[in-house]
Amino acid sequence: MNKRILVTGAAGFIGSHVCERLLSQGYIVTGIDNFDPFYPRQIKEKNLAASLANPSFEFIEGDAGDTGTQDKITRIPDLVIHLAAKAGVLPSLKAPPDYIIGNILLTNKILEWMREKGIKKMIFASSSSVYGNTDVIPFREDQPVNSPFSPYAFTKRSCELMNYTYHQLYGMDIMNLRLFTVYGERQRPDLAIHKFVHLIMQKKSIHLYGDGSTSRDYTYWKDIVDGISSSLDYILAHEGVFEVINLGNNKPVKLIELVEQIAAVMNTHPDIIYEEKKPGDVDITYADISKAGKILGYEPRTSMKDGLSNFINWFKHANGEKTQ
């Protein structure tokens, strides 16, 4: 019988791509999403369209931690891919309690539900933000991560620790995947690449926080989904698993270089306005992906140029009426 997978955050940027990949591989998928108003519902509904057309997909609207939502799950999964979260470093500075509820408490409720139902395997989407503003680069999974730089970061680190406790106490197999600045088609509107392309299309200035020297390990969504898919294969084939693994691109790009690359693909010269660096913004993210390569066979294949071209083409198609 085909394995059953539960995906939380199924209507989001990464979640919707993960659902489509799982369905293409023959899994039976249940997706949950609460359509958090962080960005418009209609965007998430479009994200879900392809999966909803597949008879092996069932969608449940609601908060994955609520008992009412959990009671609607009729196909008890063999594994949970937990992607749902309150997202965003800067927004977390304004509302830390919301992130404690939306990340730590939500994850705890999912773990408790799994324990009650006898579900033993979970893949958890953590974040590169747990590394904080460290000088130790590239970031290795075995280095200390005791200096989170934002409420978002400390909630993700808290979830990793909580996952370990459930692994130890209840024998759950868990993989914490630290994702590094994922971009590409369906990217959230609040993220840098999406915002920059939108501003250029509207012939508006781009505001950069800091001097443009901060760097991010931008990772194309297909490479991330490849890593999640390989993690799924691994955890289904092994027992006694608890792993923390970086999924990044291993090639940091400076903010100003990112803008220049976007401008080159769009054949334009944007107006740039520099502003004061925001609190909670780290200087660099840089993934050591040797562990992912060894355990998962992970190897990112999408160049920045190709990834940006794919995103910009998608953006123009998705927003054609607005950008004529």
**Active-site amino acid positions:** 152
Task: Using the structure block, give the residue that is written with the tokens 């520099």.
Answer: 274
| Beta-strand pair 182-183/215-216 | unpaired
| H or E element in which residue 258 lies | helix 255-266
Angle at Cα 273 formed by Cα 253 and Cα 323, nearest 5°? 85
Contact 33/11 with Cβ under 8 angstroms?
A: yes
Helix ranges (DSSP H) in 105-201? 106-117, 151-170, 192-201
CA distance 114 to 120: 7
Q: Which residues pair with 125 in a beta bridge?
A: 177
CB 29 within 8 A of CB 63: no
Cis peptide before 40 (omega within 30 of 0): no
| Helix 41-52, helix 13-24: angle, nearest 10 | 0
Best CA proximity match to 90, nearest among 279, 276, 293, 262: 279
Q: Which helix H or strand E contains 19, and what residues bound it?
A: helix 13-24
